[in-house]
Amino acid sequence: MKYFCFFGLLVLVGLSSFERAHGAGECGRVPVEREAYKLFPCALAAQDEKADVSDRCCLQVKRMGQNPSCLCAVMLSQTAKSAGAKPEVSVTIPKRCNLEDRPVGFKCGDYTLP
């Protein structure tokens, strides 16, 4: 039993080291493309600047906006583009949600968050 516990501990340490070896991206350990699915409620608002932005969308943008690099990467991700999101429209969502703590003037690729 003692050896089994020791082996289990070694496996856990090895796995945690393996996770760190991959490094963290803009959204931490979660890949940007997977994080992009959280902004699904923003799909229509990311295609048309005149479309209403849902409360669910604003809530997700506010959460993700705590890490502006992640928010930017998600808005410009291949997943977002595949869903029909337009980068120049996507970057307007934080302002359209009236987020007070939005990153003003934050460069997002070729775009600047308003």
Q: Which residues of 53-73 are buried (b: 16+ CB within 10 A; e: fewer)?
A: beeebbebbbebbebbebbbb
Per-residue pLDDT at 56: 97
pLDDT in tens, the chain (114 residues): 543 333 333 333 333 333 434 456 889 889 999 999 999 999 999 999 999 999 999 999 999 988 888 988 998 899 999 999 999 999 889 889 988 766 666 667 677 666
Domains of the chain plus CATH, in order, are 29-112 (1.10.110.10)
Per-residue pLDDT at 114: 60
**In which residue are the tokens 């803009």 written?**
26
Tell me, yes or no, if the pTM score tops 0.75: no
